[in-house]
Structure 1
Amino acid sequence: MSRRHSFYARPLLAAAAAVTVLAGTAAAAPADASPGRYTATAAALDDTYYQDAVGKTGAELKAALHTIISDQTKLSYSQVWDALKATDEDPANSSNVVLLYTGRSQSKNDNGGNSGQWNREHVWAKSHGDFGTSTGPGTDIHHLRPTDVQVNSTRGNKDFDNGGSELGSAPGNFTDSDSFEPRDEVKGDVARMILYMAVRYEGTDSFADLEPNDQVNNGSAPKMGKLSVLKQWSQEDPPDTFEKRRNDVIFDQFQHNRNPFIDHPEWVGAIW
């Protein structure tokens, strides 16, 4: 089972209000974009947001979830900077964000492309399907995360798998010529982001049909592996408070859609 950092231990604050899906054009991050509350209980989500998916499995479940989560507000790539400052805010320091692979807490304003800064990591590598930074998969903050510039470069567009040599600049992360293994604390997060992308982007909106497969070295194909490992990571590292809160901030303040595998981790096995 994955280890947890102490800043992930905030208690869950659940509100029983029903959830409403919003639409429109995203604005820059609002001033009150603080990660301190939860939108609804699981039961309320099932009765409202997920009502057309509950009880289904396999291809029917995947199709239902695709329809649900495709109702979203889309951000520009420049808006992603401000969005990540809200979604990945350090609960222990509201001036900082928590970087995905290193777990380092760093100033929100120390972002850019220089060594030691943080930048925008596409967890589903943008070359896998050639969507770049176009509005859509290239700006979907369910899989965009703040990461250390150098670690982001080391990961590159590699698929995910176990093994390799440990990164000296990011202990707990491993890499080899064709794959990247994130630290234990975010293995499940990575898996659920990849599987979200596979459900959200099905080739019906001018972008490629993104799908997981059970291999690495996928290159520019719209595939990401390694599915068997991602499923294992999702099971061994279930959603924690930080990840659940992030899902709520995205839903409440930015895209107004959810990652269903954070709300229902069991749906990973129900589809794949």
Structure 2
Amino acid sequence: MKQLYTLVATLLCSAAFAQIPAGYYNSAQGLTLQPLRTALHNIIKGHSVKSYASLYTNFAITDKITINGAVKVWDIYSYNPVNPLATAYYYSYGSGTCGNYAVEGDCYNREHSWPQSWFSSTLGPQTDMFHLYPTDGKVNGLRSNYPYGNVTTATDTTTNGSMLGTGTNNAGYASIVFEPVDEYKGDLARGYFYMTTRYYTEDATWANSGATTKCEINPWELSVLMEWHHRDSVSTKEINRNNGIYGIQNNRNPFIDHPEWADSIWPNAIIVTSVANSIQQATKVTAFPNPTTDLVTVQNIANNSNLVLYNAQGKLIYTEQTLTNTSAILNMANYPKGLYMLRVSTATTNQTLPIIKQ
């Protein structure tokens, strides 16, 4: 896991390194909110749909890791990112696919991070690699079709620390969730942002779940995923995987190439905050109007809060401390158009809100 980025500095890290084809995102430039989501949908729709059987062959391109000179399956549900040599087991491509399994390490199969039952096993999303991963069969079965979330009380813990259980830190959702290790939380979040954008308006046959309404991510899940997105920034693994999938499907994940677009589309998603190594739901700070052309009113501020505003390059451009006020007004009139990040913090809470200046 990467630490919560110094606001947008890490959030905006990827575009310079990803191999984005020239002009690929031209029609999305300068857009925000629903128009941006629609533009991105039109860019990435119509990808080359592959067969279900081809996934194992394609995983060997997109999900491989070299351990002691040998190429292995990069299984996000079993790999130990802190100490790779302590990983309990590795699979090799060309063997080890499920079949039957009884315990971890028996075999691996194809994990739909957005479960098949949520999209009625439609062929397009069924083989869309941006939400598919090769994972241990036992852990895949354990995760089943439970939503992703933060686990407080675990009923099952895997060899790499992934957990199944219940949590009180999921923006009001109290049912069973699956929590991967920190290293891959952002990866999975950006996969969900891709899915809700790629299949926007194409979800007539999709089912609802505790986390989704057809292809729309429900507010509590969006809150959790946005927090994961902020805390676990785009990695080299994701960039390489994005490029590999582009070579197979002929489309890209915009939220890997441009992580800031998640905040541009969903600027008012609740941010779950971290306190003393636990994740808690703070009173939601709000900012309106957002987008804005000049003044922004920030509400639900706790006493003795610090307000810090950063531009898209991570440069501090404004700071203010509130003593007893529950609201504040920011004057954005003289700032250039673009994305800004407002951090509102106290001694025990920390929330970050994107502010869009038009």
Q: Per the shorter chain, which TM-score range?
A: 0.7 to 0.9
User: Residues of 2 paired with 1:197 and 1:43: CA distance?
Assistant: 20
Identical-pair percentage: 37
Contact kept, 8 Å, 1:75 with 1:255, in 2: the verdict is yes
Aligned counterpart in structure 2 of residue 69 of structure 1, from 39, 44, 54? 44
| Preserved contact between residue 201 and residue 207 of structure 1 (Cα < 8 Å) | no
Aligned Cα RMSD in Å?
2.7
Calculate the TM-score normalised by the size of structure 1. 0.76
Note the residue ranges of structure 1 that are not aligned, 5 or more in a row.
4-39, 211-215
1:243 alignment partner AA: E
Q: Secondary structure at the match of 1:52?
A: helix
Q: Which residue of 1 aligns with 2:182?
A: 184
Q: TM-score, normalised by structure 2?
A: 0.58
Task: Give the conservation status (yes or no) of the 8 Å contact 1:247–1:262.
Answer: yes
1:71-150 matches, cutoff 5 A: 71-92=46-67, 93=69, 95-103=71-79, 105-108=90-93, 109-115=95-101, 116-130=106-120, 132=121, 134-150=122-138
> In structure 1, how many angstroms separate the alpha carbons of the residues matched to 2:196 and 2:127?
15
**Superposition pairs of residues 206-221 of structure 1, within 5 angstroms:** 207-208=205-206, 217-218=210-211
1:178 and 1:168 map into 2 onto residues whose CA distance is 13
Give the whole-Å Cα distance in 2 for the aligned partners of 1:220 and 1:267.
Answer: 21
> How big is the shift at 1:85?
1.6
Match of 1:204 in 2: 202
Residues 44 and 78 of structure 1: CA distance in aligned 2, closer, same or farther (over 3 Å): closer
Which of these residues, 35, 59, 84, is aligned with residue 34 of structure 2? 59
Matched residues in 2 for 1:205 and 1:173: separation?
30
1:159 is the counterpart of 2:153: no
Q: Is it true that 1:170 corresponds to 2:159 in the alignment? A: yes
Distance 1:243 1:266 in 2: 15
In structure 2, C-alpha distance between the alignment counterparts of 1:159 and 1:260, rounded to whole Å: 23
**C-alpha separation between the residues in 2 aligned to 1:271 and 1:191?**
14
Unpaired stretches in structure 2, ≥5 consecutive residues:
4-14, 80-86, 166-174, 267-358
How far apart, CA to CA, are the structure 2 residues paired with 1:205 and 1:161? 23
CA displacement, residues 58-84 of structure 1 (integer Å, 9 cap, x when unaligned):
001100000011131110111111111
* Equivalent position amino acid for 2:23 in 1: T
The structural deviation recorded for 1:43 is 8.8
Task: Give 3-state SS (helix, strand or coil) of 1:90's partner.
Answer: strand
